[in-house]
Structure 1
Amino acid sequence: MAEAHQAVAFQFTVTPEGIDLQLSHQALTEIYLSGMRSWKKRIIRLKNSVITGVYPASPSSWLFVVIAILATMYTRSDPSMGLIAKIQEHLPVSTQCQVVLSAVLFSTMLWLLLIFTMRLCLKQLLSYHRWMFEQHGKMSTTTKVWVALVRIFSGRKPLLYSYQGSLPNLPVPTIKDTVKRYLESVRPLMDDAKFERMTKLATEFESSLGNRLQWYLKLKALWASNYVSDWWEEYVYLRGRGPIMVNSNYYGMDFLYVIPTPIQAARAGNSIHAFFLYRRKLNKEEIKPVSTVIPLCAAQCERIFNTTRIPGEENGKELYMYTHLDRHIDTLSMYTVQHWQDSDYIVVYHRGRYFRLRVYQAGRLLSPREIEFQIQRILDDPTPPCKGEAKLGALTAGDRIPWAKARAKYFSSGVNKRSLDCIERAAFFVTLDDDEQCVMGDDSAASLDRYAKSLLHGKCYDRWFDKSFSVVYYKNGKKGINGEHSWADAPVVAHLWEYTLATDSFQLGYNAEGHCKGEVDASLPRPQKLNWEILPEEQISQSLAVAQALADDVDFHVFPFQDFGKGKIKKCRVSPDAFIQMALQLAYYRERGTFCLTYEASMTRLFREGRTETVRSCSNESSAFVRALEGGEVRPQKLRLFRAASEKHQLLYRLAMTGAGIDRHLFCLYVVSKYLGVESPFLKEVLSEPWRLSTSQTPIQQVELFDMVNHPEYISCGGGFGPVADDGYGLSYCILGENLINFHISCKHSCPDTDAHKFGAQIRKALHDLIKLLSPIEKEPNKTEEKKMEVKKEL
């Protein structure tokens, strides 16, 4: 009953002598310290808001402006050109104070005007993207001047969100350009008759309905920070009524060959502590803004912790004439935004039970050793799960409407509501898995596949798929992460994951026995088991059946390609990403004998609240190269076509990053058409085209955290996702160091035309064929040279 006493600040009993009131000093102390921590966070956030609000200037610059203006007044000059005198006339204070106060007011207005001007200049500078289109290693004079100006106007020591107000808005491409690029992208996928028909539909759309829809879209772009992101989040993610497990969620893997400790509780202790260190840095905005040459939008970072996707039955507003966009919608519950105080606990799942584990005690974050101690308590707890509790998580893995109905009926009050609130308000979710995952040994290939499937869907009930992210710790110390997709894209979670991996192993470390370092406070209250009453067992079983069928259908193949990497590719003067994309086009053509619509994710975070754009990697140039390679053309011709294909891919990628992509524009035009209640045969056909090859690169963003030269084994294997089309592939790749590329391939067993392992073999062959094509031909030594070599050997 120890945890029950910790739950209240006081207790009382009624006696014949009156009321006997007993205060719990420990609980009151905890309340006081919790309040102090909350107020500290308020002060920090207020301070950061001021610093970010005046960026690229600093708050101290206000004092400099005031002193400068007062100094000029003492020299009997008037820098305000009479404005200070005008202000004095309207000040209801004594004459002695009027001069100083009017000068301070004028200085403040001048300071704010300077900040506005600097921010406007910085916004214009960040809108310049020509540097992306310049040849590598050759920077124009204009770009050099631009780089210098960006450094001048960027200020010093920016906080995480300092650049948010200066980032440009995502531009709306012209209808003409989008239609032209779309037709160009589908030409290799259609015969002459189909292409002629699509060209006619596109021309009709461009000359009639397109201009009307474009007008509404430009109006939204003027009003909103980003004309795409809110609709993308709602219609692509939150309105989906099918399972988010496999179909939407993605995963990230642990170190490829290393397990820092074989003790499950110890690995969890270090890792969980590292997650909260990251959250502390996030709250203080101490994380450096991620940047390429210019900073990227950090808006998605606001929802990393304490965020849960809530299933919705309907949103209450009619969207007329929607075809696949119905009235049902999920919502994102962001407790970070709604409350000053972040959650000071996590929820842990183990053997069918849910536990609330507080990670703060007396106002301080528990040490890794103390968290390990608490995790071990959960592992040793013999309490059986409540009736129906063991597979409760299956509700989050199945269809969304049944889950929403069950939530409204069974979790709207009482014990169930309190326990569900506890899960949804937690900082994040943790699973202590009884299975072991390992990529060592003779069965390393198959073990990687099992590891990927486990992280993507597990047993379909031992993850809480609605949480912003769930961390899985396996029995042998291996770990991984599963991310919900609607609130942010994979690079945001990957940044967090990189930090925790590095902090866990390189900063916190373990003692000789494999335990976390530090001491344990044995008086820590035990983790609190969540209780449940009358759970919808029939609905849980139905959701589990749907999820299990989906999980069983997923075919996964993960393999590290170590024959060569970006080091050798760059020596051939080719972009590694373009090289891999050409290899994927070649592999798909060899397997299926045709080309397909190919999706490659590109970010648009150069713009405010930007998320992603599509790079259509299958182009006229790439298909011409593949046909030439397979058709036996001479080597110079194949090389010329490869160069043209890779350069075209780089151009498409840069256009997507700079707001000139195709698919988000067409998507938003389609949404506008549905709001207006008008049909567009062109848009309807465009948005119904399947992405049979969906690809994504997972870049390492914090290379400085890892030593890939001396310790190449201490690197993540990247992550992956499920197939987008029932008859297609989901493919993720991670370029690590100079000599390693990890591939994650998914498809469905139910499709007879797809096989993840066969496609993996085709990718390996394609990579070797391309590098052989690009590598210079080594001349065979003649007889004279052979004799010289023999003489040298004898000497």
Structure 2
Amino acid sequence: MAEAHQAVGFRPSLTSDGAEVELSAPVLQEIYLSGLRSWKRHLSRFWNDFLTGVSPASPLSWLFLFSAIQLAWFLQLDPSLGLMEKIKELLPDWGGQHHGLRGVLAAALFASCLWGALIFTLHVALRLLLSYHGWLLEPHGAMSSPTKTWLALVRIFSGRHPMLFSYQRSLPRQPVPSVQDTVRKYLESVRPVLSDEDFDWTAVLAQEFLRLQASLLQWYLRLKSWWASNYVSDWWEEFVYLRSRNPLMVNSNYYMMDFLYVTPTPLQAARAGNAVHALLLYRHRLNRQEIPPTLLMGMRPLCSAQYEKIFNTTRIPGVQKDYIRHLHDSQHVAVFHRGRFFRMGTHSRNSLLSPRALEQQFQRILDDPSPACPHEEHLAALTAAPRGTWAQVRTSLKTQAAEALEAVEGAAFFVSLDAEPAGLTREDPAASLDAYAHALLAGRGHDRWFDKSFTLIVFSNGKLGLSVEHSWADCPISGHMWEFTLATECFQLGYSTDGHCKGHPDPTLPQPQRLQWDLPDQIHSSISLALRGAKILSENVDCHVVPFSLFGKSFIRRCHLSSDSFIQIALQLAHFRDPQCLALFRVAADKHQALLKAAMSGQGVDRHLFALYIVSRFLHLQSPFLTQVHSEQWQLSTSQIPVQQMHLFDVHNYPDYVSSGGGFGPADDHGYGVSYIFMGDGMITFHISSKKSSTKTDSHRLGQHIEDALLDVASLFQAGQHFKRRFRGSGKENSRHRCGFLSRQTGASKASMTSTDF
């Protein structure tokens, strides 16, 4: 998901709407707009907090304070020290007939001011507390007395039950790191991968940058950091994602998989009904802020802003840049099946349809015999086209088929009912998993609406998956939603013995509305060209999924290492195949942890250099160092998909009912995209992608190297030496299939579900 190199081609003389401007101060204008957007978000959240409870206080706390003041006043005590009398004097006299009412109003105004001041004090105190990063520097599993005190104070000032956005106005601003430290860390990070000559040249460029341009660029970033709450996030969204003109498919979107070894029901409509109902239950909890905020390492709250655009969101293409359109609400989903588009309502009289009713509506779509209209079948390929091309065609489409286009773009999300099965099969487990990953990432190029925040994909055998547009949020946000969806539709909603959703159909519901596209002749050729380009892009991506079950997180913990550091270094070993020893491995793991903690505390390298580069482009300052940094092509792009809600899954009794994660396309034409997820304590699943057109990469070859590297690293520890002997003693290929597929049958049969992929 490393796409920062896309910012290289942006035009610094463009405003947000694409118009040319003078150079009189474009960077100051952008800083002003960033702050304006930031303050608008703060105000909107303040109003939302006021309606749902002003965290960490609540409306009841105001009532308690007002009652206490009234009681004190009744007892002839003045807690306001004379302020209420002054307030009464400023209120209208009303002829002296409402003297008691004036007293009540004065008490209410004083209580409101005191209440607001107390809340403001709590927010300031919490912001100061959250600025402490000392806990990150402590050894894993150890907690000093100052950190324990800090954690207790954070919990006290956070209130008893913080809601999703409770911390937003108390989070400290993103700090701007020292530019000298950032350059030093960057040089340290590239030293192992550059030759002596290249590194010396890079170091010279870095020193020249520090001497000539760094202080001016840093000044602008500090100015922005004081005006906006985050000095980099809005620029990252705009220049990395929204200004990119590349197709979204493969280049930007990513996917999330279903349970790997089981499918709760083989009925496509039933699985769609339960999944859509579960997703909309999540949206309901999201709107009510009933989702607990994410805590880093269980202690420090993370920003929840990205949750705001999960649903009712579409990335609208533009000629120069896209923009994100988010609706407050939507009570329908857009459904695609066999080349036809449908508008399917999800609510009846303002209440969510039951899973069985939703299943009925999906079944009606599946049973609809009407054929696709000419060019309608491949229409969605336009969303997989280069963004400028799609923007121009969309202008004509919006004129000729406005109602149908609005039904799709205004939907809560997009649902694709695929006509083919997918998922793990007994006959060819490796190939079937690879095909499953490819179907989720690219599909057939015309059966996903890639602009939507996400597309729910339901295959003919009941297998599920997500295709997610990346600009609105990062993977942990959609991963959190997906965990809730799988756990809810499987364990909470469940299925009847015949595989249908529980409950009864509703025959009074109207049929889903078939969307009619009046496609003008001039866009027919555009659809054909978009489909051709999408097929080329789809056929060029090589997806490979590696379920590794010889060991998992529990073994890594026994080695007293960070699980993420263990995997990251194993991936580097798989990529370069350098010999390692235990001492060097521990040094590398410690270094990875130090870099990770620096990034977590806002002292990372990547975003700071990116923001400095953006400022330099606005100012037309040529920096060879920054240009080189942001033109580098990273051949190994990795990401972990964290399992954040283990309480939703019973991994001991149902070990196979855990999401198998997801993947993304390679960031470089000659590189790899690798995603991994820890499935419980005993398994790790890797999702690998590369370009078939590259002669330097092969996803299956890297998958073999990853398995070898994991075993090599494990064998450095006495507790893991037997894994390598067991793996190689049983034969590599047979062991791979056995540990990745057949060994999971026990867990699958243990769970009392309707059917599996077997």
- The aligned counterpart of 1:421 is 406
534, 540, 547: which is aligned to 2:534?
A: 547
SS at match of 1:385: coil
How far is 1:156 from its partner?
A: 1.8
Q: Is the aligned partner of 1:240 residue 2:183?
A: no
SS at match of 2:256: strand
Deviation at 1:188, TM superposition (A): 1.0
2:615 partner letter: V
Structure 1: distance between partners of 2:499 and 2:83: 71
Contact 2:271 2:458 (C-alpha < 8 Å) held by counterparts: yes
1:573 corresponds to: 560
> Do 1:273 and 1:366's aligned partners in 2 also have CA atoms closer than 8 Å?
yes
- Whether 2:506 is the aligned partner of 1:531: answer no
What residue in structure 2 maps to residue 669 of structure 1?
Answer: 612
SS of 2:128's partner is: helix
Give the 5 Å matches for 1:482-501.
482-501=467-486
CA displacement, residues 24-48 of structure 1 (integer Å, 9 cap, x when unaligned):
xxxxxxxxxxxxxxxxxxxx99995
Matched-pair contact (CA < 8 Å) for 1:722–1:730: yes
Pick from 216, 221, 231 the counterpart of residue 217 of structure 1: 221
Q: TM-score, normalised by structure 1?
A: 0.82
5 Å matches for 1:10-409? 48-50=48-50, 54-93=54-93, 94=96, 95-292=99-296, 293-313=299-319, 328-336=320-328, 342-408=329-395
Task: Say if 2:376 and 2:517, in contact at 8 Å, map to a contact too.
Answer: yes
SS at match of 1:204: helix
Deviation at 1:66, TM superposition (A): 2.1
* Structure 1: distance between partners of 2:45 and 2:404: 30
Shift of 1:73: 3.5
Amino acid at match of 1:139: M
Q: Does 1:458 align with 2:464?
A: no
The change in CA–CA distance for 1:545 and 1:375 in structure 2 (over 3 A counts) is same
Deviations 1:281-303 (A, max 9, x none): 11111122222312221111111
Q: Are 1:521 and 2:506 counterparts?
A: yes
Post-superposition offset of 1:192: 2.2
CA distance in 2 between partners of 1:308 and 1:357 (Å) = 18
Indicate the SS of the match to 1:136.
coil
| 1:725 to 2:711 alignment | no
Q: CA deviation at 1:72?
A: 3.4
Asked if the contact 2:49–2:55 (Cα under 8 Å) also holds between the matched residues in 1, the reply is no
User: Residues 266, 99 of structure 1: CA spacing in aligned structure 2 closer, same or farther, 3 A cutoff?
Assistant: closer
> What secondary structure is seen at the aligned counterpart in 2 of 1:682?
helix
Of residues 593, 596, 600, the one that matches 1:657 is 600
Q: Helix, strand or coil: the match of 1:347?
A: strand
Cα offsets for 1:111-163 (capped at 9, x unmatched): 11111101100111111121122012321111011011111101122222111
How far apart, CA to CA, are the structure 2 residues paired with 1:777 and 1:737? Answer: 18
**Is 2:687 the partner of 1:744?**
yes
CA contact (8 A) 1:560 1:741 kept: yes
Q: Which residue of 1 aligns with 2:397?
A: 411
For 1:271 and 1:90, locate their aligned partners in 2 and report how far apart those are by CA, in whole Å.
59
3-state secondary structure, aligned to 1:746 = strand
Q: CA deviation at 1:413?
A: 2.1
Contact kept, 8 Å, 1:290 with 1:296, in 2: the verdict is: yes
Question: How has the CA–CA distance of structure 1 residues 46 and 518 changed in structure 2, closer, same or farther, with 3 Å as cutoff?
Answer: farther
Partner SS for 1:388: coil
Q: Does 1:510 align with 2:502?
A: no
| Alignment check: 8 A CA contact 2:574 2:702 kept | yes
Asked if the contact 2:416–2:448 (Cα under 8 Å) also holds between the matched residues in 1, the reply is: yes
1:557 and 1:760 in contact (8 A); partners too: yes
Name the aligned partner's letter for residue 157 of structure 1: H
1:266 deviates by: 0.8
- Offset of 1:77 from its aligned partner? 4.1
Deviations 1:628-653 (A, max 9, x none): x2xxxxxxxx2222111101101101
Local SS of the residue matching 1:446: helix
Matched residue SS, 1:60: helix
Q: CA deviation at 1:76?
A: 4.2
Could you tell me how far apart the structure 2 residues matched to 1:99 and 1:479 are? 63
In the alignment, residue 283 of structure 1 is paired with which amino acid? Answer: N
Q: Give, in angstroms, the shift of residue 371 of structure 1.
A: 1.0
Amino acid in structure 2 at the alignment position of 1:304: I
State the SS of the aligned residue for 1:411.
helix
In terms of mean alpha carbon deviation, does 486-495 or 58-67 score higher?
58-67
Q: Which amino acid aligns with 2:312?
A: N
Partners of 1:367 and 1:97 lie apart in 2 by: 50
Q: Do 1:559 and 1:744's aligned partners in 2 also have CA atoms closer than 8 Å?
A: yes
- The 8 Å contact of residues 48 and 285 in structure 1, kept in 2 or not, is answered as no
* 1:776 CA drift (Å): 5.1
User: Which of 647, 650, 653 is residue 704 of structure 1 equivalent to?
Assistant: 647
- Per-residue CA deviation, residues 435-458 of structure 1 (Å, 9 max, x unaligned), is 111313030111000000000010
Answer yes or no: is 1:585 the counterpart of 2:572. Answer: yes
Partners of 1:355 and 1:91 lie apart in 2 by 60
Give the SS at the match of 1:281.
Answer: helix
Structure-2 residue corresponding to 1:4? none
- The answer to whether the 8 Å contact 1:572/1:775 transfers is no
Separation in 1 of the partners of 2:720 and 2:444?
A: 51
On the 8 A contact 1:348/1:432 being kept in 2, the answer is: yes
The 8 Å contact of residues 52 and 159 in structure 1, kept in 2 or not, is answered as no
Verify the 8 A CA contact 2:316 2:323 in the aligned structure 1.
yes
Shift of 1:103: 2.9
Q: SS at the partner of 1:413?
A: helix
Structure 1 residues 512 and 491, CA, compared in 2 at 3 Å: closer, same or farther?
same
Contact 2:545 2:687 in 1 (8 A): yes
**Conservation of the 8 A alpha-carbon contact between 2:397 and 2:519:** no
Sequence identity (%): 54
Structure 2 match to 1:7: none
**Are the structure 2 counterparts of residues 81 and 420 from structure 1 closer, same or farther at C-alpha, using a change threshold of 3 Å?**
same
Deviation digits for residues 274-333 of structure 1, max 9, x if unmatched?
1111111111111222223122211111111110111101xxxxxxxxxxxxxx101111
- Kept in 1, the 8 Å contact 2:556–2:563? The answer is yes
Residues of 2 paired with 1:389 and 1:51: CA distance? Answer: 44
Shift, 1:60, TM fit = 1.2
Gaps (5+ residues) in structure 1?
1-43, 314-327, 337-341, 591-625, 630-637, 780-795
Measured in 1, the distance between the counterparts of 2:46 and 2:221 equals 35
Determine if contact 2:261/2:656 at 8 Å carries over to the other structure.
yes
Aligned residues of 1:256 and 1:713 also touching (Cα < 8 A): yes
Secondary structure, aligned partner of 1:569: helix
Q: Name stretches of at least 5 consecutive residues in structure 2 with no aligned partner.
A: 1-43, 723-758
Write the distance in 2 (CA, Å) between the matches of 1:778 and 1:561. 16
CA contact (8 A) 1:377 1:526 kept: yes
